[in-house]
């Protein structure tokens, strides 16, 4: 149970990060955060006391975060695409593909990168998917930070849903 994660909200209830239960408990215990939601009635027990195990906490002081975006990395593209080749659907031997090839001026940006297996990537080469009659299963896009926390972090819990409903802000 201690390997669960906790959603951290800013003072205005906007999600800003995910942390460990230990870190969240410490923030609440030191009065730097409020417990917003507990983890299914679970408790953290010491010799003398039992404390509710946090699932969502809210910082007491507003933290100004000028830009909170999802970093463009190979692993984050794989997460966005569900660890599946966007041409054939396999989950084996994955790599990245530029939809518009770099040789044709394609940029290394969220909207031009998809997960592809080595076979599809080699077959596509320096062509566009349209030129080869390939269909992209999910067109590439830049996920918002809230969407990434909600859909791709691997830690979304029932208690988080009310705080992660919006998914288009942040860009």
pLDDT of residue 41: 76
How confident is the model at residue 40, as a pLDDT? 82
**pLDDT tens-digit profile of 156-168?**
678 888 888 754 3
Band the pLDDT of 171: cuts 50, 70, 90: very low
Q: Which residues contact 112 (CB under 8 A, 6 or more apart)?
A: 98, 99, 100, 106, 140
Query: How far is CA 94 from its chain centroid?
Result: 19
Contact 108, 102 (CB under 8 A): yes
Residues 1-16: tens digit of each pLDDT: 567 889 999 999 988 8
C-alpha span between 165 and 163 (Å, rounded): 6
- CATH number at 74-132: 1.10.30.50
**For the chain, domain boundaries:** 5-67+144-163, 74-132
Q: Structure pTM? A: 0.68
């Amino acid at each position: 149970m201690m390997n669960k994660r906790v959603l951290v909200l800013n003072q205005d209830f906007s999600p800003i990060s995910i942390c460990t239960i230990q870190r969240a408990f410490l923030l609440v215990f030191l009065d730097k955060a409020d417990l917003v939601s507990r983890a299914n009635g679970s408790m953290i027990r010491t010799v003398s006391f039992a404390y509710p195990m946090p699932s969502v906490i809210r910082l007491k002081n507003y933290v100004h975060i000028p830009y909170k975006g999802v970093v463009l990395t190979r692993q984050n593209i794989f997460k966005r695409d569900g660890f599946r080749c966007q041409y054939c659907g396999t989950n084996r031997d994955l790599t990245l593909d530029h939809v518009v090839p770099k040789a044709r001026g394609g940029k290394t940006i969220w909207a031009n990168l998809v997960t592809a297996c080595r076979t599809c990537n080699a077959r596509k080469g320096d062509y566009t998917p349209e030129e080869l009659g390939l269909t992209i299963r999910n067109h590439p896009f830049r996920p918002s930070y809230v969407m990434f926390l909600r859909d791709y972090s691997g830690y979304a819990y029932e208690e988080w849903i009310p705080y992660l409903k919006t998914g288009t802000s942040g860009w």
